[in-house]
Amino acid sequence: MSARVLEKVYDPREAEARWYAFWLEQGYFRADERPAAEPFSIVIPPPNVTGFLHIGHALNNTLQDILARYHRMTGRSVLWLPGTDHAGIATQNVVEKELAREGRTRQELGREAFVERVWAWRRQYGGIIIGQLKKLGASCDWSRERFTMDAGLSAAVREVFVRLYEEGLIYRGDYVINWCPRCHGIRGYPGEALPPPLPAGGRGGGRGGHHPSRVHAGGYGRGRPP
């Protein structure tokens, strides 16, 4: 029986990949339903599906990982729920830049074809940030990974917002909105009223510019309006 040779220099790429695969195979991160165990759960703040991890993600998720692993060791039933956010505006911009390199625009493509192109982009590149979380050793229950545009989640969000509105806990109000002069849209909720375009030479701040008018933008605040 040949003994395994211990390498002179520690190679984290080999060791971390091997042990993480072992943890996943053993199901150590799965949230098991044990009636006698006290539950503990964290919903990961979903990173943008278009993005890459930065140092803020690394710090935030490391702290969550510490909590999840600590409470597992105390015997609690732990769920660290992973997922990604659709990042609609950022994703649209990325796809439009791809189309521009092809000499096309979203208007030429048409709404349905453009939406399908966005979904295709998400399917191809959307897993990058999840792969980076796994490289960090995040102990999420990956069997429960969600995406904010999943049908079930979208229905749940509508249900909760309608219920909170009917109970008077949130209200629609007038808010200053951001108008994007490039894509001719507002940075806010779908279905909001579109303000008129900025006049030539008009003022605008930031990349998209802040539209000076106040419109019924559909933003939500807690409590009754004053």
pLDDT in tens, 19-72: 999 999 999 999 987 888 999 999 999 888 777 888 999 999 999 999 999 999
More confident residue, 73 or 219: 73
Q: 48 - beta bridge partners?
A: 85
Decide yes or no: CATH 3.40.50.620 for domain 8-149. yes
Q: Determine if residue 87 is left, alpha or beta; phi over 0 gives left, psi from -120 to 50 gives alpha, anything else beta.
A: left
CA–CA dist 193, 148 (Å, integer): 23
At 77, phi and psi to the nearest 5?
-85, 110
- 211 Cβ neighbours under 8 A, 6+ residues apart: 176, 177, 178, 179, 186, 195, 198, 204
pLDDT attached to residue 224: 42
Q: Of 81, 80, 79, which Cα lies nearest the Cα of 37?
A: 79
Asked if the model's pLDDT at residue 133 lies above 90, the reply is: yes
**Nearest CA among 215, 169, 166, 225 for reference residue 192:** 215
State percent of the chain over pLDDT 70: 80
Give residue limits of the domains in the chain. 8-149, 151-226
pLDDT value at 191 more than 60:
no
Model confidence pLDDT, tens digit, residues 136-171: 999 999 999 988 888 788 888 889 989 999 999 988
72 within 8 A of 109, measured Cβ to Cβ: no
Report the C-alpha gap between 119 and 113 in whole angstroms.
10
Supply the pLDDT for residue 222.
42
Strands in the chain per DSSP E: 39-43, 77-81, 83-84, 146-147, 170-180, 185-186, 210-222
Q: List, in sequence order, every residue forming a beta bridge with 146; answer none if it has no partner.
A: 83
Q: Beta strand pairing status for 210-222 and 170-180?
A: antiparallel
**CA separation for the pair 204, 172 (Å, rounded):** 25
User: In this model, does residue 196 exceed pLDDT 60?
Assistant: no
pLDDT the model gives residue 72: 95
Per-residue pLDDT, 217: 36
Q: What is the pLDDT of residue 75?
A: 93
Percent of the chain with pLDDT over 90: 37
Q: Which of 118, 127, 51, 50 is nearest to 82 (CA)?
A: 127
**3-class secondary structure, 5:** coil
The pLDDT, as a whole number, for residue 174 is 79
